[in-house]
Structure 1
C-alpha cells in the first residue's frame, strides 16, 4: 500500500509537447484507436463539440466513437459521423443502479453511485466495444474538447498519457511533491498489491489512453488480490467518507508507468478547465471552446458538479487555505494547467482564455 513520503520534492521529467511534433509520425503512420465517451444528461449541450474535437484532431485514425449514455438522442448517427455509435449505459455491467445497490449493501452513501459508475465504465471500456477493436482506447470526458492535433498512441505503439493535475495543488510553481494525504493514492494502494505513484502528477485531465494488455493486467491483479469481481473490489477500496474516494485516472496512469514503463509515454497538455456548480445558468462547453479560439491551448473543459461546495471541501489534494477560500464562496473557477504550472482564478463573463 502507498505510504506518504517525508515531503520529498520530486524531480519531474522535462515537459513534452502535446502536438504533432511529439507523435513520431503522421496520422496514416500511427496505430488506429477507438474512442469511448460517457455522457450524462448534463453533458448533452456540449457533446457534439467534444465529438468533433476528437475526430478533427486525433492524428491516430479513429475507427469508432462509442458514446455511452442513459438517454440516447433522437437524431440518427449519420448526422454527426458514421463512426459515432450510441449505446445505453444501463446495459453496462455494473450499471449505475447496480453500483447504487452494492453501495447500499455496504452501508455506504448511494448518492455517489453515478460518480463511481462512470469510473468503472472507463476501466471496463473494452467491454462496450465490438470484437476486433484496436489495442488502444481513448476515453474522453464528455465535457472536454481537444483544440489542436494530437497523437494518443505513437508510432511504436506506446500510449501517450497526460501528466494531468499535480497530486497536491501547489499554485504558481512547477515544483511539486507527493502529498501527506491523498485519498486516490490510498484507494489504489489498497486495490493493487505493489501499486505506488511514480511522480507528483495525478494523470487526471479528463482523458486517458487505455492499453488493453495493461488494463487486463490491472483488473486481474485486483481480482486475484481480493477474490471478487473487479468492480466490487474497486468500490470496497474507495474511501466512503469522500465524494472523490477513488480515481480511475490516478489508478491507471501510475499502474501503467510502474508496471509497463516500456509501453507508455507522458506529456503535459496545456488546457483550461472551467468548474462550476450544477444548475441553471453558468458556462457551457461551446462557449468555453469559442473563448479559446486563437489561443495556444491544446484543450478546454467545462464541468458542472452536483454538491459543488461539498465536493471541494473533501478534496484533500487542495491546500487548506485554498479550499477554505473556494468553499466560502463557491463561484465558477478557471483552472489553467501549463507544463505543470497550475493557476486558478474566478471565471467571470465575458470569458477570456487567450
Structure 2
C-alpha cells in the first residue's frame, strides 16, 4: 500500500491507516507513507509494516514540478495537485523490487469502514466507478459530458485513450497493476518522446486547477486495454469537502458520524483555492456550480450505488 500524506492530512492519518489495517482483506506486506516529515510516535505504537518515505526522495520532487510548470508559463501554485498525482503514477518505483504486482494507493484523508477486497481471487484489480463524469444529483442515468478537462488531457497523453463509460474512477483510492501502469507510462513516453512526468504536465489543461486526473487516466486505460485484469464496482461513501484553514471538519469526526451506517468509506478533504476550484470544475453543471460558488462552505457528497447527492455540511454531522 501507498498512502500520500500532506501536512494538512497528518491529524487524521492514524484513522486512515487503522481503517486499511483493519478492513483490507488482501494480505498487506508494506504500508508506505509518503510525507514531508516523520512524526514522533510511542515505540509500542509502531506497526512494523509501516515505512515512512520522505517525499523529497520521489523521482520527481514537488519543487521540480513547480519549476517545470513555471517554464511552461503555467500557474506554479497547482504544483502540489500535480505532484501527488505523479507520485501515485510512479508508485512501483517507490517500493522494493520484490513488491507485489498490485499496489493500493489511498489518499490520507480517506478511510475504509468495512471489510473490503481490492484484488480478487483471479488477480483482477477491483476499481471504483467513482463520481460521475458529469454531476446530476439524484440520477441513475449518467452520460459523458460535452467537455471534461481530465478526459481531454488523457486523450492527449495516451494515443487511443477513450473513456469506457460515464464514471470517472475518482474516489480517493486506486488499485494499480504493475503491468497495466507500466504499459500506460511506456505508451505516453513513446508518443511524446520525453519522460512521462513531463508529458503528463504538458498535456494537462493549463486553465484548470483540475487539469488532469490520474484516476480518470488509469481506470479508463485499464478498462479499455486490459479488461481481463480489472473489475469495476460502486463504493458507497461520503466525502466532506471544504477550504483549507482553521475550523471545519476533521477525518476522525466524519468517520465517527458514519459509524453504524451502510457506508463503506468516508473522506474529509481540505482544498487550496477552494472557491476557485469549485468555479473551474467543468463536470459540475453551470447552475449547480454557481449555487455552490455563491456560498463556498463545507459540502458533503454522497455516493450510493452511483447516485450522487450533495448537501451543506453543518454540525452536528449525521451520516448514519
**Structure 2: gaps spanning 5 or more residues:** none
Q: Which runs of 4+ in 1 moved over 6 A?
A: none
Deviating more after overlay: 99-108 vs 190-199: 99-108
Of residues 179, 183, 203, the one that matches 2:149 is 183
1:122 matched residue in structure 2: 88
Q: Is contact 1:333-1:347 (8 Å) kept?
A: yes
Deviations 1:10-55 (A, max 9, x none): xxxxxxxxxxxxxxxxxxxxxxxxx000100000010000000001
Q: TM-score, normalised to structure 2's length?
A: 0.99
For the aligned residue pairs, the C-alpha RMSD in angstroms reads 0.8
The answer to whether the aligner puts 1:311 opposite 2:277 as a matched pair is yes
Aligned partner of 2:2 among 20, 30, 36: 36
- 1:1-354 map, 5 Å: 35-75=1-41, 79-354=45-320
Partner of 1:11: none
When normalised by structure 1's length, the TM-score is 0.90
The runs of 5 or more residues in structure 1 that have no matched partner are 1-34
**Alpha-carbon deviation of 1:74?**
2.0
What is the CA–CA distance in structure 2 between the aligned matches of 1:79 and 1:165, rounded to whole Å? 36
Provide, for residues 264-303 of structure 1, a one-character-per-residue CA deviation record: whole Å limited to 9, x for no partner. Answer: 0000000000000100000000000000010010000000
Q: Secondary structure at the match of 2:111?
A: strand
Tell me the distance in 1 between the aligned counterparts of 2:44 and 2:74. Answer: 42
**Partner SS for 1:63:** coil
User: Aligned equivalents of 1:235 and 1:93: distance in 2?
Assistant: 15
Count of aligned pairs? 320
Question: Partner of 2:29: helix, strand, or coil?
Answer: strand
Whole-Å separation in 2 of the counterparts to 1:97 and 1:75: 28
- Compared CA separation, residues 164 and 77, structure 1 to 2 (3 A): farther
- Give the distance between the partners of 2:144 and 2:315, measured in 1 at CA: 35
Q: Say which SS state the counterpart of residue 198 (structure 2) adopts.
A: helix
- Contact 1:148 / 1:298 at 8 angstroms: preserved in 2? yes
Do the aligned partners of 1:77 and 1:85 also contact (CA within 8 Å) in 2? no
CA shift, 1:81, in A, is 1.3
State the 1:131 CA deviation: 1.6
Once the 2 structures are TM-superposed, how far is the Cα of residue 77 of structure 1 from its aligned partner?
A: 7.4
